[in-house]
Every structure is written in C-alpha cells, then in structure tokens.
Amino acid sequence: MNTIPRELKLTMLKKMMLIRAFEEQAEKLFMKNLVHGTMHLSIGEEAVAVGAISALEKTDYISSTHRGHGHMIAKGGDVKKMFAEFLGKDTGYCHGRGGSMHIADASLRNLGATGIVGTGIPIATGAALALKMQRRKEVVLSFFGDGAANEGLFFESLNMATIWKLPEVFLCENNMYAMSSSVKRFIPTQNIADRAAAFGIPGVVVDGMDVIAVYNTTKTAVERARSGKGPTLIEAKTYRYKGHSKSDKNLYRTKEEIEEWKKRDPINTFKKHLLESGELTTEEINRLEESVKDEIKKGVEFAIKSPEPPIDSITKYVYVEGDEQ
Amino acid sequence: MSIITYKEAVRQAMVEKMREDKKVFLMGEDIGVYGGAFGVSMGMLKEFGPERVLDTPMSEASFTGVGVGAAIMGMRPIVEIMFADFLTFSADQFANQAAKLRFMTGGQLKVSLVIRAPQGSGTGAAAHHSQNVEAWFFNIPGIKIVVPSNPYDAKGLLKSSIEDDNPVLFLEHKLLYNLKGEVPEEDYRVPIGKSRVARKGKDITIVATSIMVKRSLKAAEILEKEGIQAEIIDPRTLKPLDIYPIIESVKKTHRLLVVYEGCTTGGIGGEIISKVGESKAFLYLDAPLFRLGGLDTPIPYNMNLERKATPQVEDIVSKVKKIVKGDWYA
C-alpha cells in the first residue's frame, strides 16, 4: 500500500470526490426538471472505477456501461462536456445523441458505453483481439455489472479472451443488485469470480469499497494481460446507494441495508486513511473540495449556456457519409 | 475476362483485399481448415494463417461483437455467419451496437465491419437453414445491406463493402454459389447503392434481387415469346436503395412487379412499392403496383412444399401475364 506514491493517492481521492459531486449535481439537475432522459448513478461505487482505471496506463482502453459516469471521470473525462451531454446539448460528448447512458470520449480510449446490459463485453474482447493482431502493448479493461454476468455474452467472451490469450481484464462491478434483483437470488455461488474456474483463469474477489485494494488487484491483472497470459476475472463487491434509475422506489431492499454499506463509504474511508497516515491534511481536503465544487459549477454553467443541437442535423452520424451535413 | 463462380468471386474479393490491406481479416465458424460450410474460404487459411482466417467457437452473439470491437479499433473484419438464419444470435451486436455506436457517440466511433451470411431456400435444409433475412434488418438505420445476384457483382460489391466505413450486411445466396459468370481480370469495384438494369424492356418493370434476378431473367425469355417485354432491375443493394432508376423505368413501362424470396408480409416489396407509389411514376401507371414474395410460412423440408414456398419461374411468368393483361385480381 505504501508503494503507491502520495500524488497518485491524492489524484484517486480527487477523482472519487469529483464523481460523487458530478452525480449529486446530476441528480439535482434532474430534480429541477432540466434533464430530458434518465440516468444511472454510481454513488457508492466510486472506488471501483477510480481504483481500476488508475491501474491502467493512459494509453490503455476501457469499455463502459450504462452506469458509466464514474468510468469517464476516472479516465480523465471533461466534466463540462459530460454535463452538456447530460442536458442533451450540442457541445456534449455525443452532440446530444447519447445522453447519460452513452457518454464516452473515444480520444481518451473509452470504447463506448452501451445501454443494453452485457453488450459491451464482446466489443471489449474484439478491441483486445485487435490490439493483439496489431502487435500493440495496450490492454482493455472491460467493465460490466453483476446483472451482465448472467448474460451469455459474458461466458462466450470470457471463453474467447481465454483461448486467444487476449490482453483484457474483465471487471465485474457487483453492486449487489441487477435493477431489483439481488445477486443472492440470481447468482447461485457466493462469488461471481468463481466462474473464472470454468475457464482456468484467475478469478479474484476484491473489496470494491477500498480504492487501494481495487488498484492493487487490477494492477496484477493488467500486468498478466499485458504480458500475454490472458484475462483475469475480477469481482469488485460494492454497493449502489441510489436507485437503479429514476423509476426506482427501493422496494427490494431495506434502509438499514443501505445505511450499513454507507458506513464503509469508499470516499470517507480513504480520506480517513490518508489523514491517519499523515499523507493528507484537513486543509488539503478542504482545498480539494473547493476545487471539485468549482469544477462542477463551471461544468453546469457551460452545459446550461450551451446550444441545442441544430434540428436539421438530426441524421448526422447515422452513416459516415453524413458527417458533412 | 475470366469465368468464375459466385463462390470464387466472394473468395477472390476477400483474398485480394487481405493481400492489399493488413487490417482486413476473416472470422467465423469452421472457416479455416474446413473452408467454411459452403467452401467459400477454402484455401485461405494456407495463405493467411490462423490469425487472419480466425476460426471461432460457436458463439455468434459474441464473435459478432468481437468484430464490432475490432472494427472500432481500426481493423476491417469480415465476420462469416454460417447460415443467415443464425443472425438472430448476432442481432443485438449488429442492430443495436454496430448500427448505432457511431450515432450514439456523436460520430466518435466508426464500425467498419462486414457480416457475410448465406441465405435462401432450395437446399432441403428446412426452416432453420433456409430463410431470407434481409427484411429483419431492412429498417435498421446505420447499416447497409448488399444482395448480389451474380459473380461480377459479388466480387465488386464485396470489395466495396470491405472498404466501407459503415457496417455492411452482405447476404449471399446458397443456390448461386456455383453460378458462373464473367469477371474482369483487373481490379474493379461495384459501388454500394447503385442498381443495375439486368434486361431492357418496355411492358413491365420487374425489380428482383439475389436468386430472383436469375429466375426473372428466365421468366422474361418465356414472356418474350408471348410478346411481353419485361425490363428487369436488380437493386443490388437494399440499403441504401437506388430507387430513382426504378421510378424512371416504371414511368416508361407503366407497370411494376417486385419479386423477392423472403416472406411477402413486411418484406422489401412493400417498401419498393411504396416508394414508387409515392413518386411521380404513380401518374404513369396502367396497373396497380404488385409484389410477388415468398409465402408467409417457414420454409418446409419436403421438396414440393419448399418449391411452393418461394417464387419460381412459372410464378413470375403467370403474375406478369395477369398484370399486363389486366387480370389483376383474378
């Protein structure tokens, strides 16, 4: 743990704080009726996105999910363009075509965020195949949830990545619920990571509320992938504090359960650790909070002021030929 | 010029593109040493090796997605689906991912993917290995659909499809694989989105695709003996559909019949007829606009039933006669 440089730890903390602040602000905008569509918040799960992506090189790839705000921010996404996309503006990452579920920045090597559970998994595997064919050294980190672990695509893709020894890491963000369905009901074993045994690859369970643990686990898996030994299945056990989406009335779990997980909040725990180890002072935390607040404020202002996409550009991006429209 | 089969034309297009461009590779089930279920990729493993002629496990849903992911990374994968019927497995990755990723990301991603699949009936393979699937994908924006009817078009269109930056569904016909035709020795392309007049005529316009071009040409020979001159247009690609020459032809012949193998209901005929009916060609019509598609039934195993399920030469002849003679509803 002490081998991780202080600077990196501070960056990790800041990114977690930024994700939390982004999503809290997103929810406020939603409540104010400024948002046309829905959103899926990852509040409580920040340590997974940040810990895992911090273990990558900048040049490595990720594939994201419908609950992908955290992945984008952890990969270095621009909060301004994210808010703009969230509000459907032309200045958003996807020019208002994607919305919350599809925010992605290809230039940051994000392969996209898909809205259909599990469908990003084979795409990530295909990207890893391309990297191998192109004799490149980058790896692909494939994010998916516990729900996706019950899609056939998961098993098929893990099989192909294994037989072809692809440079890929499979990271299951087990937030305990696929919409309303508890893993206890739909996963017959204690761990999703146990499924790795069927492919003869490492399957590792990690505490998804502990950013350093996620970082270390992912680092090992990334090294394995980069050295040509093939994939690792990581299961990060975490928790989504908020509902699945805006329609969720939390009828499938108790307030007590949510409160219990909040006691292990990944951001508070990490702050406490850094304070206790003397790597961070209260003053520095305050400064971090100010800077995060400022970034969020500027992001929202930018998004609100931004123009809507021109109506007559509606079919732009359907086909490559349409780009000149 | 050399005379080659449709199957050889498809193979030549892949081989020549793979020699020319390292980004192009073929993946699918049993395409390596086996040469593919119909022998289309026979011999390619020897020239290109197992990485570029990549045998996959039986995981169509996922290896189609693997093709999407590789395409995003700048490769130009050709994914072979052993039978077009199996595209139901691939449907999400093709219709929801390949077709939409570019749009949903505001133009950031490019999916230069070709899916090749043989379709059609006539081989006694029953309902899981005989369907026409173009209508399933016809109303998905973001993809192109190519349906070549002869070796020349198959080779020229496949090269264009591989070079296209959009996802392309390239539907071959099993009964055409051994059809011979002239193909130039030199490099050439057939552009996507350009129809072809397969036969000139003045009495009726027949729009036919894939195997139905061959059957319509035969029907036209019979009809000619009875004094009916049929003009045959092969759209060659369904998406985008080159409707203008069809409209112009109908203005000249005043009659239209769309012939296709897929089930009649919800098939391509309805769309082509609508486009013509909405155009100025409507003002020139001497007869209602007609379609002759397959029956709305799964493809049966029994040979006689199987024949009955899709339009045959005699069906085309009799339909055209009724339209031209005014026995429209007989």
Between the alpha carbon of residue B105 and those of residues A259, B62, B279, the distances in Å are 37, 21, 35
Q: What is the CATH number of domain B196-325?
A: 3.40.50.920
Residue in A with minimal Cα distance to B105: A94
Nearest to B106 among A98, A119, A159 (CB): A98
Chain B residues touching A141 at Cβ < 8 A:
none
Contact between residue B291 and residue B269 where contact means Cβ atoms under 8 Å apart: yes
Q: Within the 223-252 window of chain B, which residues sit less than 8 Å (CB to CB) from chain A?
A: none
Per-residue pLDDT of chain A (325 residues; tens, 9 = 90+): 458 999 999 999 999 999 999 999 999 999 999 999 889 999 999 999 999 999 999 999 999 999 999 999 999 999 999 999 999 999 999 999 999 999 999 999 999 999 999 999 999 999 999 999 999 999 999 999 999 999 999 999 999 999 999 999 999 999 999 999 999 999 999 999 999 999 999 999 999 999 999 999 999 999 999 999 999 999 999 999 999 888 888 899 999 999 999 999 999 999 999 999 999 999 999 999 999 999 999 999 999 999 999 999 999 999 998 765 5
Chain B residues touching A114 at Cβ < 8 A:
96-97
- pLDDT score for A1: 46
Domain segments of chain B: what residues? 2-183, 196-325
> Cβ–Cβ of B72/A323 closer than 8 Å?
no
Whether residue B240 is preceded by a cis peptide bond, meaning omega within 30 degrees of 0, is: yes
Q: Do B196-325 and B2-183 have the same topology in CATH?
A: yes
Exposed/middle/buried for residue B101 (C-beta within 10 Å: 0-12, 13-18, 19+): buried
> Cβ–Cβ of A130/B75 closer than 8 Å?
yes
Contact between residue B203 and residue B230 where contact means Cβ atoms under 8 Å apart: yes
Among 1.10.3720.10, 3.40.50.970, 3.40.50.2000, 3.30.70.1380, what is the CATH number of B2-183? 3.40.50.970
Give pTM, 2 decimals: 0.97
Q: How far apart are CA A322 and CA A49, in angstroms?
A: 35
> Cβ–Cβ of A122/B103 closer than 8 Å?
no
Whether the CA torsion A208, A209, A214, A217 is positive or negative: it is negative
Between the alpha carbon of residue B167 and those of residues A213, A242, B40, B110, B112, the distances in Å are 41, 37, 21, 9, 6
Domains of chain A: 6-295 (3.40.50.970)
Cβ pairs A/B, distance under 8 A: 143
Would you call B161 an interface residue with chain A, using a CB distance cutoff of 8 Å? no
The residues of B assigned a catalytic role are: 60, 129
Q: What is the ipTM of this complex?
A: 0.96
Q: Within the 44-103 window of chain B, which residues sit less than 8 Å (CB to CB) from chain A?
A: 51-52, 56-57, 59, 61-75, 77, 92-93, 96-97, 101-103
Q: How far apart are CA B293 and CA A136, in angstroms?
A: 50
